[in-house]
Amino acid sequence: MNKKHIFLFLVIGLFSKTFSQDVHFSQYYLSPLTLNPANTGNFKGDYRFFGNYRSQWRDIDKAYNTFSAGGDFNIYPQNLNFSGGLYFLNDRSGGNLVINKIMPSAAFHVKLAGFNLSAGIQPGVVIKFIDFYAHSFPEQLNWGTGKFDKTLTNSESNVDQRTTYFDLNTGFHVSKRFGKFEPEVGFSFFHLNKPKESMLGFNNRLPIKQFYNAALTYFALPKLSFKIHSFCGYTAKASDWVTGVEADYILNKNAFFTNSVFAGFMWRDGLKRNTDASIGTVGMHYMNYTIGFSYDITMSQLKTAVDSRGAYEIALIYKAKNTRLTKKAIPCERY
């Protein structure tokens, strides 16, 4: 094969790994805006900030690292609930392929017949680039030394090192409390505009990616609740399915805050493949803060190479209290 084919396979391989890694948080429920644009402002509070960090397969030379940070807020013009938000994501796959996303979002929330309904939209910009100087090409072989010299020309002038495109996402969310049970369902669609994505000049367009998530919280005792939750992402022939259960125990609470600790177990697989990983989670809600930690144990065939170790994640959320009046009382003249 000539150098063009070698480089083409290299880029395709990196993009394939990136595709499976794209916004790949185990604690997806603690990364609200990457999961669903309708989650923008979908919380009780004036505003919040959040951050997520994931490091995967550190035992492999070219590890995966993903970082995301952002925030959102609520406003109430004419007694309606609108929300705005923004998140930034940086993903480094295979060591040298980097993805940066800058995604503003907006959402509208309404309560109808006891149901909490939310709809959101998320237009943004995606920037992908690869560092050619981190790789060796056939023409960079120095015949005098017998080694590859990355300072020599690689003759790959027809291949771009960077691609930038506009991306458009949307989503919906609904929840309702029924006594001791509170179900919720969300679904979102990414790459609605099917943006062109290629570093080789091909007319390669991203297919629409679909996310579905559901959860059922059972308030078993005044201080103890259990949540069963599931998430499924699907695009083209690739799928990602995460399912788990979480227990939350309340330590104490007041009019503004509920302090609690939580722990859970999840597993990840696909719709037509074997289990990829088992996941343990722990965390706590304290005052304005929520912090979560998870660890993935690799269950796939890769476990031999990484000694069953997978990835760890840290999630942090700061949520400001709600200063908007939510309860009204009519004074009685007799008292």
322, pLDDT greater than 60: yes
SS3 of the chain: CCHHHHHHHHHHHHHHHHHHHCCCCCCHHHCHHHHCHHHCCCCCCCEEEEEEEEEECCCCCCCEEEEEEEEEEEECHHHCEEEEEEEEEEEEECCCEEEEEEEEEEEEEEEECCEEEEEEEEEEEEEEEECHHHCCCHHHEECCCCEECCCCCCCCCCCCCEEEEEEEEEEEEEECCECCEEEEEEEEEECCCCCECCCCCCCCECCCEEEEEEEEEEEEECCEEEEEEEEEEEECCEEEEEEEEEEEEEEEECCCCEEEEEEEEEEEEECCEEEEEEEEEEEEEECCEEEEEEEEEECCCCHHHHCCEEEEEEEEEEECCCCCCCCCCCCCCCC
Position with higher pLDDT, 99 vs 274: 99
Determine the pLDDT at residue 190.
95
What pLDDT is recorded for position 47?
95
The predicted model gives 33-49 an average pLDDT of 95
**Highest mean pLDDT: which of 2-16, 143-157, 262-276?**
262-276
The set of residues, in sequence order, having a beta carbon less than 8 Å from that of 51 and lying 6+ positions away, is: 67, 68, 69, 70, 315, 316
**Stretch 116-134: mean pLDDT, rounded?**
88
The residue to which tokens 């943006």 are assigned: 195
* pLDDT above 70: residue 11: no
In angstroms and rounded to an integer, the radius of gyration of the C-alpha atoms of the chain is 23
Please compute the mean of the pLDDT values over residues 19-26 and round it to a whole number: 61
pLDDT tens for residues 70-122?
A: 999 999 998 899 999 999 999 987 657 889 999 999 999 999 999 999 999 99
pLDDT higher than threshold 70 for residue 307 = no
Q: pLDDT value at position 12?
A: 37
Question: Do 109 and 42 form a contact (C-beta atoms < 8 A)?
Answer: yes
Average pLDDT score over the chain: 83
Question: Given pLDDT bands bounded at 50, 70 and 90, which one contains residue 9?
Answer: very low
The superfamily in CATH containing domain 3-319 is monomeric porin ompg (2.40.160.40)
Beta bridge partners of 173: 118, 186
Quick one: how far is CA 67 from the chain centroid? 10
When pLDDT is cut at 50, 70 and 90, the band that residue 287 belongs to is very high
Separation of alpha carbons 124 and 98, rounded Å: 17
Q: Which amino acid makes up residue 225?
A: S
pLDDT cut 90: percent of the chain above it: 54
Rounded to an integer, the average pLDDT of 179-184 is 96
Burial of 79: CB neighbours in 10 Å, binned 0-12, 13-18, 19+: exposed
Sign of CA dihedral 7, 12, 14, 15: positive
Q: What pLDDT, on a 0 to 100 scale, did the predictor assign at position 10?
A: 39
Domain boundaries, the chain: 3-319
pTM: 0.81
> Mean of the pLDDT values across residues 175-179?
95
Label residue 198 by pLDDT band (50, 70, 90).
confident
The CA dihedral of 22, 204, 300, 239, to the nearest 10 degrees, is 70
**What is the reported pLDDT for 7?**
38
User: Lowest-pLDDT range, 56-70, 259-273, 312-326?
Assistant: 56-70
User: What was the pLDDT predicted at 203?
Assistant: 74
Residue 220 — very low, low, confident or very high, per pLDDT cuts 50/70/90?
A: very high
Length of the chain: 335
Residue with the bigger pLDDT between 295 and 16: it is: 295
Mean pLDDT for the stretch of residues 204-217: 92
Assess contact for 201 and 158: CB atoms under 8 A.
Answer: yes
Whether residue 68 has pLDDT greater than 90: yes
CA distance 334 to 331: 9
Pairwise pLDDT comparison (229 vs 272), residue with the higher score: 229
